[in-house]
Amino acid sequence: MVMSLYAVPVWGATDKQKIEQAYQLSDQAVALYQQAHYQESLALFQQVLSIREKVLGAEHIDTANSLANLSAVYQATGKNDQALALLERALVIKAKVLGPEHASTLDSISTLADLYQAIGQRETAVLLYKRVLEAQEKTLSPDHENIADTLNSLAHLYLGLTEYDKALPLFQRALRLTEKIAGPDHTATATMLGSLAEVYLKLRQYDQALPLYQCALAIFEKTLGAEHPYTATGLNNLASLYNLMGQFDKALPLYQRSLAIKEKKLASDNPSISASLNNLASMYEKMGQYDQAFPLYERALLNQRKATDTPPVDYLFGLDHLAKLYEERDQYDSVLPLYQRALEVRENLLGQEHPDTVSNMIRLGKIYFTLSRFNQALPLFRQALSIREKTLGSEHPDTVTCLNNLAALHQVMGQYDQALPLQKRALELTEKRYGSEHIPDPSEAALN
């Protein structure tokens, strides 16, 4: 957040004091924001906005800056609707006071585009960045760094939208500008090389991506050193490409080097370390070296559990993937704690009645069943049946599956008086839906 000073009217002594106070409060608010003390920062920015609206007016440029600063705090705290409204107000003021093509106005449009991207409205963000690029091309020199930045941002949006044919020429142009502005050996050039390589990777043009990733890595190693985190990223990117090309012998040592650097230079729960652990584990998995893969997957999950900013969906994917690998190898004692933890996360995140939670419940029950821990499987199967009857109805195929599972469990427990009515219900519902030719043998106790 950058404050800008513009000519202001002549005030009385009291107004001057209020404006000076607003600047002081704004400086304090910025410092608090940078320290992630958002609530304290919010209160001060609101006070600054109130002073400036009263003294300078609702359309003064400093009022616009205050609106933008307040918007940034709301965005940082996840209140995107408030952030959006404030930023749009600020943009209207800047466009009116400074002009639609002024650098500060264009900065606000870019910030607004980033906000729309953050809330998933990428198409709107694209339109805004195209406005910025068009204005910059009219008002700036052809090789201005702001044009390179906007090209890069717009290209990344198209990349996220999987419109690779639109992203490619933008990245190519941004790379040429960056090389000219920063130099061929600058880290910004290396980063741009990596972005362009990613597009070729998505297009499966691996031969085009390879020299770009190799060049980016060479720049990072030369400029930052062999053990810098950016070098680790370059190693990881090149390894991932070799992995896709099936050249595992080249990918493996690069993944290992990348992980070693990250573990040395970054905090132990850094998400980048978890990503490298998963990449290396996946490599060993592809090579059939499961004894090497399993402990790496376990370490990645431990890191993700400790990290406060790990997206739950990523953590759940890791739990489910490792559990499936163990299950395929009949290592059920290792599967059990993974499904238990996954169920706990899903219940907290999605609620007990969410379909994914119920599926997790059933998977855990089946593991208990396989381990002959029937008394622990029983409440899970009962709960799954109850939820599916409530949410899907008594005749839904998934409900029938739950009936069969519970019946099979009672049968192996020797509780035939409880198994039989469940089997009858399941048979009647299956016959009603599919006909008698689909009816399984009720004497066979098997889970579905």
| Both tokens assigned to 163 | 């419109």
If you average pLDDT over residues 94-115, what whole number do you get? 96
> What per-residue confidence (pLDDT) applies to 3?
41
- The confidence band for 307, taking pLDDT boundaries of 50, 70 and 90, is confident
d(CA 199, CA 206): 10
If you average pLDDT over residues 328-336, what whole number do you get? 95
pLDDT of 442 above 50: no
**Residue 39 located in a structural domain:** yes
What average pLDDT does the structure give for the chain? 92
Say which residues have a Cβ less than 8 Å from residue 110's Cβ, sequence separation at least 6: 128, 129, 132, 150, 153
Q: Which residue did the predictor score with more confidence, 308 or 275?
A: 275
The pLDDT tens digits of the residues spanning 230-261 come to: 999 999 999 999 999 999 999 999 999 999 99
- The confidence band for 441, taking pLDDT boundaries of 50, 70 and 90, is low
Can you state the percent helix, strand and coil of the chain, rounding each to 5? 80, 0, 20
**Residue 384 located in a structural domain:** no
- The confidence band for 313, taking pLDDT boundaries of 50, 70 and 90, is confident
| Both tokens assigned to 233 | 């990223």
If you average pLDDT over residues 281-299, what whole number do you get? 94
| Both tokens assigned to 97 | 């006071």
| Both tokens assigned to 158 | 């198209």
Contact 254, 242 (CB under 8 A): yes
> What per-residue confidence (pLDDT) applies to 310?
76
Q: Which residue did the predictor score with more confidence, 310 or 320?
A: 320
The pLDDT tens digits of the residues spanning 333-386 come to: 999 999 999 999 999 999 999 999 999 999 999 999 999 999 999 999 999 999
CB neighbours of residue 90 within 10 Å: 25
**Residue 109 located in a structural domain:** yes
> What per-residue confidence (pLDDT) applies to 388?
96
**Residue 168 located in a structural domain:** no
> What per-residue confidence (pLDDT) applies to 220?
98
> What per-residue confidence (pLDDT) applies to 430?
85
- The confidence band for 50, taking pLDDT boundaries of 50, 70 and 90, is very high
Global pTM?
Answer: 0.79
The pLDDT tens digits of the residues spanning 148-207 come to: 999 999 999 999 999 999 999 999 999 999 999 999 999 999 999 999 999 999 999 999
Q: Which of 277, 293, 364 is nearest to 329 (CA)?
A: 293
146 exposure class (CB count in 10 Å sphere: 0-12, 13-18, 19+): middle
Domain of residue 16: give its range: 1-139
**Residue 59 located in a structural domain:** yes
Contact 191, 174 (CB under 8 A): no
> What per-residue confidence (pLDDT) applies to 106?
96
- The confidence band for 440, taking pLDDT boundaries of 50, 70 and 90, is low
Percent of the chain with pLDDT over 70: 94
What's the DSSP call for residue 444? Answer: -
- The confidence band for 308, taking pLDDT boundaries of 50, 70 and 90, is confident
- The confidence band for 6, taking pLDDT boundaries of 50, 70 and 90, is very low
**Residue 119 located in a structural domain:** yes
Q: Return the residue matching tokens 């030719």.
A: 437
d(CA 364, CA 332): 10
> What per-residue confidence (pLDDT) applies to 343?
96
How many domains does the chain contain in total? 1
Phi, psi values for residue 362, rounded to 5°:
-65, -40
**Residue 396 located in a structural domain:** no
> What per-residue confidence (pLDDT) applies to 369?
96
CATH of the domain at 98: 1.25.40.10
Q: Angle formed by the axes of helices 271-286 and 229-244, to 10°? A: 30
Q: Which of 186, 190, 197, 6 is nearest to 94 (CA)?
A: 6
- The confidence band for 132, taking pLDDT boundaries of 50, 70 and 90, is very high
**Residue 6 located in a structural domain:** yes
pLDDT of 447 above 90: no
